[in-house]
């Protein structure tokens, strides 16, 4: 999309976060996004109101790994790097992602509870599946669900294991928590996240209605 | 509406797509719209974020038929003509439509599932039916439901058949997918789409509540 | 509210309609509003997209009665006076209203169905009732429900009768259709409409949850 | 957040109220917010449309106590101090809050009804709990529910008692009415309110779905 080529990544992150807030993905300081740029990894700060972010609040790092080096810190010295850093790192490292986002969407949480025993979210027969990498509308979508942990960083290993077990899927659901979605670039991360959110909601609504979706 | 006469169609398409995104009709790169202008058929590109479209991303074609000739291509060479082209063509060709849109609204999908066995969506007794061409609020609204296919173009024949079978209806529901709605111009396509979305939701909500709508 | 004193009524009507569209009250060309000003009665036109209204689309009439005289017609000659005129007239004439609006909110429609047999919407024990003229939160709110008719003007007599039967209530529900709400001025009409919409939704949601609201 | 340091509090209150209106917290003139500044306590006026507030409508008081002295009254002489003043005072006085807000969110009302017999809202196992002061996602969140009263000021004593009984919680639910939430500053009050609203909705939605959240 032509608009993608011109907007500096810090401005883009702020704009996307405002959009994600309106979608219910990042309220209460939860959620976030990280985008790989030519200069390094841009990352939203931790624990702030995502819809009020300003470009100067965005971190620029040399990566998302544990010994990450800060290339450009936010102007505000009270800001910290996102708690999601190691989880974002999983996407960058294991999948060569260009961007990864974290959503606390209520539909993701409800969907994770509907499929709690099964350990994976499943759906089939929905056109919106086509927005997911490599999926057709009649294929079965399967998204791994991992248990939540007291601290976000404690999810790192189980998230990585789920990613290895589900190589064709660009998302991991965290029970009672939300979902991580990534893509080759920010546009694919965002559009896949929109498709997943739609699918989560579709299954929840169909369940409430007592209809099968396929 | 006076505003309709002054705004160039590419700008109008971008504005409408932002509105449709907010309504939940075109997220995850799904959905789209095509409007007939004096110069030709304007069409949104395929597989892009509809709420981020810019006027220079819009295709201008000499029609929507299979041998369509491109009069003006988007500036961005990676953009493709909407996958919905042959389906939009059905509306232009069979009904002389001035505009046709495609929505992935969840209400359309849930409604299509509620009426899956019946093969047509039905409702009656709702005032919003009056916004549909030729309908009164006590008439029975019937919208054909066709099965989804792996590729959008494969819907062309069944959509045309449904349109021939339901000559008084300006919409076709696609199971698990969404709805196509057209009109004499973009305003009628949009307002009928709004009425249909309202009716789909009304029936779904009434079903959940356990009340009859008539 | 200080903002109310400075904005010309035609601009205010357009702004309010955009807000009502976002609330789901006036999509598909349904719904509308009329405000009494020093110069006469301002009224939205009929059957147009309410969120795209421009100040020059607004009618200025010497009243809302049947022999109404047009003081200033819209620039666009295709526009017609709102179909709600005689219903708006009921509020101006019977209650000396300063403004009256018409909403097609789905919550109003669902609530009218929940109470269809009873013939009146009832609720009690909700704080938002306090935003209704003369109501406390422990009082019983009762809103008359009248049957819908094929044409909006055919509602005039039954709406008037309901208003006479419920002198303390500034709203009339129309089954399967929506609600008319008025007030001493546009602010009271709007805020009472917001309260009613909240109450309609609260009762519908409580019903779905299986909880009593009182 | 850097944006917080530069915006005058009256402007901030107006901006937040517009956001709260969009969230469904302050429609129909209900709800409000008060923020402690260097100059005194800023407070929204009573019974006005919160999304249309202007900076000159905001009260500046020397506190929120009963003999409050007005430091700067709104330009509009018809405006009154918020009815919530004594309730806001509870938060300032008993907790040293920097800001307190009042929301009429429907989710708060429905949640208060779901837990009516129990007298407290309870949830556990949701990540969004982490946005609450001192809470982890596996802790049990408990929010006291007090009965509503005919007049807002009559809630003062019961609200204070609930705050004393629940010292670790920065919110009090009022049955059929809404919730009061405070924080060390406006950002914490707002983000905690967002988390509570999410939790209220999560429990309501899970209840409708028939799933356990933990």
pLDDT at C82 over 70: yes
What's the rounded Cα separation, in Å, for the pair A194 and A136?
16
pLDDT score of A64: 86
- Kindly identify which residue of chain C lies nearest to residue B212, measuring between CA atoms: C113
What is the three-class DSSP state of D209? helix
Name the pLDDT band for B5 (thresholds 50, 70, 90): low
C126-177: per-residue pLDDT in tens?
Answer: 999 999 999 999 999 999 999 999 999 999 999 999 999 999 999 999 999 9
Q: Where does the pLDDT of residue C1 fall: very low under 50, low under 70, confident under 90, or very high at 90 and above?
A: very low
> What pLDDT score does C3 carry?
44
pLDDT in tens, B117-127: 999 999 999 99
Distances (CA, A) of C93 to C45, C87, C160: 20, 10, 10
Catalytic residue among B7, B127, B154, B205: B127
* Partners of D124 in beta bridges: D140
DSSP three-state, residue C115: coil
pLDDT at C2 exceeding the cut of 50: no
Q: What are phi and psi of B86, to 5 degrees?
A: -65, -25
Percent of chain B with pLDDT over 90: 92
Q: How confident is the model at residue C79 (pLDDT cuts 50, 70, 90)?
A: very high
Q: For residues C208 and D2, which has the higher predicted lDDT (pLDDT)?
A: C208
B window 90-129, beta carbon within 8 A of C: 125-128
Of D20, D24, D28, which to mutate for an interface test with C (greatest number of C Cβ within 10 Å)?
D28
B80 contacts: CB under 8 Å, gap ≥ 6 = B45, B46, B47
Q: Nearest-CA neighbor of C31 among C49, C4, C14?
A: C49
User: In this complex, is the C-beta atom of B7 within 8 Å of any C-beta atom belonging to chain C?
Assistant: no
Nearest Cα residue to D207 out of D117, D136, D110, D106: D110
Closest CA to C32 of C182, C132, C166: C182
Taking residues B104-131, what's their average pLDDT?
97
Q: Using a CB-CB distance cutoff of 8 angstroms, which residues of chain A are in contact with residue D127?
A: 30, 104, 109, 148, 174, 176-178
- Contact yes or no for A28 and D192 at CB 8 A: yes
Residues forming a β-bridge with C40: C37
**Using an 8 Å Cβ cutoff, are A147 and A175 in contact?**
yes
Q: Is B127 a catalytic residue?
A: yes
Q: Say how far residue B74 (Cα) sits from the centre of its chain.
A: 22
Can you tell me the mean pLDDT for C48-52?
Answer: 97
Residues B162-177, mean pLDDT to the nearest whole number: 98
Tell how strand D140-146 and strand D171-174 pair up: parallel
* Rounded Cα gap, residues D40 and D61, in angstroms: 6
Judged by CB atoms closer than 8 Å, whether chains meet at D128 and A28 is answered as yes
Tell me the CB-side half-sphere exposure of residue B123, using CA atoms within 13 A: 31
SS3 content of chain B, % helix, strand, coil (to 5): 40, 20, 40
- Is the pLDDT at C193 greater than 70? The verdict is yes
In tens digits, what is the pLDDT along chain A, a chain of 214 residues?
444 457 999 999 999 999 999 999 999 999 999 999 999 999 999 999 999 999 999 999 998 888 999 999 999 999 999 999 999 999 999 999 999 999 999 999 999 999 999 999 999 999 999 999 999 999 999 999 999 999 999 999 999 999 999 999 999 999 999 999 999 999 999 999 999 999 999 999 999 998 887 6
Asked whether residue B2 carries a pLDDT value surpassing 50, the answer given is no
Q: Tokens representing D124?
A: 């556990």
Q: What is the pLDDT of residue B185?
A: 98
> Residue C1 and residue D178: Cβ atoms within 8 Å?
no
Strands D140-146, D120-124: parallel, antiparallel or unpaired by DSSP? antiparallel
Neighbours of chain B (3+ CB pairs under 8 A): A, C
- The least confident of A2-6, B202-206, C109-113 is A2-6
> Which among B125, B137, B205 has CB closest to C110?
B205
A109/D126 CB distance under 8 A: yes
Residue C172 to residue A73: CA distance in whole angstroms: 59
Residue found under tokens 């429907």: D106
Fold that domain B8-209 belongs to in CATH: L-fuculose-1-phosphate Aldolase (3.40.225)
- Which tokens is D15 given? 């901006």
Residue of C nearest to D175 (CA): C126
Confidence of residue B213 (pLDDT cuts 50, 70, 90): confident
Looking at every residue in chain B, the average pLDDT score rounds to 95
CB A95 within 8 A of CB A170: yes
Over range B27-54, report the average pLDDT: 96
Residue of chain D whose alpha carbon sits nearest to that of A108: D202
Map residue A136 onto helix, strand or coil.
coil
Domains of chain A by residue range: 8-209
How many C-D residue pairs are in contact by the CB < 8 A criterion? 82
Distance from CA of C69 to the nearest CA of D (A): 33
Q: How many other C-beta atoms can be found within 10 angstroms of the C-beta atom of residue C212?
A: 11
Q: Are D48 and D54 spatial neighbours (Cβ–Cβ below 8 Å)?
A: no
Suggest the residue from D176, D178, D179, D208 to mutate for an interface test with chain C (most C CBs closer than 10 A): D176
- Residue B1's pLDDT band (boundaries 50, 70, 90)? very low
Whether the predicted pLDDT of C214 surpasses 80: no
| Each residue's pLDDT expressed in tens, for chain D with a length of 214 residues | 444 457 999 999 999 999 999 999 999 999 999 999 999 999 999 999 999 999 999 999 998 888 999 999 999 999 999 999 999 999 999 999 999 999 999 999 999 999 999 999 999 999 999 999 999 999 999 999 999 999 999 999 999 999 999 999 999 999 999 999 999 999 999 999 999 999 999 999 999 998 887 6
User: What residues of B are in contact with residue A2 (Cβ under 8 Å)?
Assistant: 54, 56-57, 74-76
With contacts defined as CB-CB under 8 Å, which chain B residues touch C74?
A: 2
**Average per-residue pLDDT for chain C:** 95
The answer to whether the beta carbons of residues A119 and A108 sit under 8 Å apart is: no
Beta strands per DSSP E along chain A: 32-36, 41-43, 59-61, 70-72, 99-103, 120-124, 140-146, 171-174, 178-183
Tell me how close the Cα of B209 comes to any Cα of chain A, in angstroms: 10
Per-residue model confidence as pLDDT tens digits over D111-148: 999 999 999 999 999 999 999 999 999 999 999 999 99
In this predicted structure, what is the pLDDT of residue C5? Answer: 53
In A, which residues are within 8 Å of D199 by CB distance? Answer: none
Q: Which chain B residues are closer than 8 Å to A181 by Cβ?
A: none
Find which of C10, C27, C116 to mutate to test the B interface (most B CBs within 10 Å of its CB).
C27
């Amino acid at each position: 999309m032509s608009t993608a080529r011109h907007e500096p990544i810090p401005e883009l992150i702020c704009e996307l976060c405002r959009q994600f807030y309106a979608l219910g993905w990042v309220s209460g300081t939860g959620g976030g996004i990280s985008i790989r740029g030519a200069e390094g990894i841009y990352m939203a700060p931790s624990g702030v109101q995502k819809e009020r972010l300003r470009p100067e609040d965005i971190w620029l790092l040399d990566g998302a790994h544990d010994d990450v080096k800060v290339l450009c810190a936010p102007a505000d010295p009270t800001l910290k790097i996102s708690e999601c850093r190691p989880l974002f790192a999983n996407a960058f490292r294991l999948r060569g992602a260009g961007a990864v986002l974290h959503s606390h969407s209520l539909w993701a949480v409800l969907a994770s509870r509907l499929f709690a025993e099964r350990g994976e979210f499943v759906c089939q027969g929905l056109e919106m599946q086509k927005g997911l990498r490599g999926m057709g509308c009649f294929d079965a979508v399967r998204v791994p669900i991992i248990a939540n942990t007291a601290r976000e960083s404690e999810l790192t290993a189980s998230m990585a294991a789920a990613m290895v077990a589900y190589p064709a899927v660009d998302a991991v659901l965290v029970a009672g928590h939300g979902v991580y979605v990534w893509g080759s670039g920010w546009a694919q991360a965002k559009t896949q996240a929109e498709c997943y959110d739609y699918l989560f909601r579709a299954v929840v609504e169909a369940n409430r209605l007592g209809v099968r979706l396929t």
